[in-house]
């Protein structure tokens, strides 16, 4: 339907909102970091450089990658953690495991459907109330779908984008509002994928690839818009990892092909993603904003 005269007039008279960047001075939320104290020895300065301060939410925290990342945050100084997941039984077991390993930290679980904006807002509010602040968000919740594009249903397409892309946006938006209210800034890290950079082989998974490419672009836009609040938005693009998603006889042939096409000759371990997580979440990453770190053994070189 063609726009009406009134709609055309409204279009030509509209005023576009504009981004506001930080000034970057001492009064801003993006002031340069203070030098590490000279009174601290070299070992102490190295520890401070990669220290993770405050509290975090990790979506998909009961999964292999999310759990490894959550544990790494605690190892580097995180004081409070809330895992968001849709699997209560598995998540509660993970919480109990972390509580035994880090008795001084406050750790909890919330069952949250990240595609439900009301549930997400409530979950973030409750997490902030429990912990006192939210300073780090890691978005690991996601699903994989391998379908030939010609046969894919609209429901299959929408589900993958709704969880992987829209879900990550809803959580990051709710957390960003909390960080702005705190006035503290923070770090948001999306889990993109090499699938957002290249077409996978041999499995067809166009919806998944689109959802991850969209996450990389989403990261760029939010990094530009939210920098003035002291919020850094980055992403990690893992390659094929040894998780439950890639187990079983049905994927054995694909695993062989993935390994043969990787210069490193194998799939990654969940722990090999934690270095990138700590870099982006810690004091060492204060000038990293809008970055995407590929952690794939060289898979996307070809």
Helix (H) or strand (E) holding 10: helix 5-12
* Contact in structure between 108 and 83 (CB atoms under 8 Å): yes
Q: How far apart are the first and last CA of the chain?
A: 46
Q: What is the C-alpha separation between 230 and 187, in angstroms, rounded?
A: 8
- For 157-167, letters b (16+ CB in 10 Å) and e give bebbbebbbbb
The closest of 216, 215, 212 to 199, measured between CA atoms, is 212
Q: What is the C-alpha separation between 33 and 31, in angstroms, rounded?
A: 6
Q: Express the helix, strand and coil content of the chain in percent, nearest 5 each.
A: 50, 15, 40
* Contact in structure between 137 and 82 (CB atoms under 8 Å): no
The closest of 96, 28, 91 to 57, measured between CA atoms, is 91
State how beta strands 106-111 and 136-139 pair: unpaired
Report CA 87 to chain centroid distance, whole Å: 19
Q: What is the C-alpha separation between 131 and 80, in angstroms, rounded?
A: 6
From the candidates 193, 195, 211, 282, give the one annotated as an active-site residue: 193
From the candidates 208, 211, 229, 240, give the one annotated as an active-site residue: 208
From the candidates 29, 94, 212, 219, give the one annotated as an active-site residue: 212
212 is an active site residue: yes
Q: Hey, which residues are catalytic here?
A: 193, 208, 212
């Amino acid at each position: 339907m063609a726009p009406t005269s009134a709609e055309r007039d409204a279009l030509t008279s509209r005023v576009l909102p504009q981004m506001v960047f930080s000034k970057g001075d001492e009064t801003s939320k993006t002031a340069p970091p203070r030098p590490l104290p000279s009174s601290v020895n070299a070992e102490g300065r190295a520890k401070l450089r990669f220290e993770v301060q405050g509290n975090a939410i990790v979506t998909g925290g009961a999964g292999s990658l999310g759990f490894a990342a959550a544990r790494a945050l605690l190892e580097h100084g995180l004081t409070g953690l809330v895992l968001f997941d849709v699997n209560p039984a598995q998540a509660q077991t993970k919480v109990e495991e972390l509580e035994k390993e880090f008795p001084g930290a406050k750790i909890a679980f919330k069952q949250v459907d990240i595609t439900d904006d009301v549930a997400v807002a409530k979950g973030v509010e409750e997490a902030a109330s429990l912990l006192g602040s939210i300073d780090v968000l890691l978005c690991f919740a996601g699903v994989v779908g391998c379908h030939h594009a010609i046969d894919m249903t609209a429901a299959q397409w929408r589900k993958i984008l709704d969880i992987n892309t829209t879900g990550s946006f809803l959580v990051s938006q709710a957390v960003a509002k909390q960080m702005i209210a705190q006035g503290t800034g923070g770090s948001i890290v999306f889990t993109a994928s090499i699938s957002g950079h290249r077409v996978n082989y041999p499995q067809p998974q166009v919806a998944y690839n689109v959802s991850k490419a969209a996450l990389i672009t989403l990261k760029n836009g939010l990094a530009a818009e939210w920098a003035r609040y002291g919020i850094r938005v980055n992403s990690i693009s893992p390659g094929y990892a040894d998780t439950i998603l890639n187990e079983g006889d049905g994927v054995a042939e694909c695993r062989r092909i993935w390994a043969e096409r990787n210069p490193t000759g194998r799939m990654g371990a969940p722990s090999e993603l934690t270095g990138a997580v700590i870099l982006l979440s810690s004091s060492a990453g204060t000038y990293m904003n809008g970055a995407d770190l590929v952690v794939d053994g060289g898979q996307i070189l070809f």
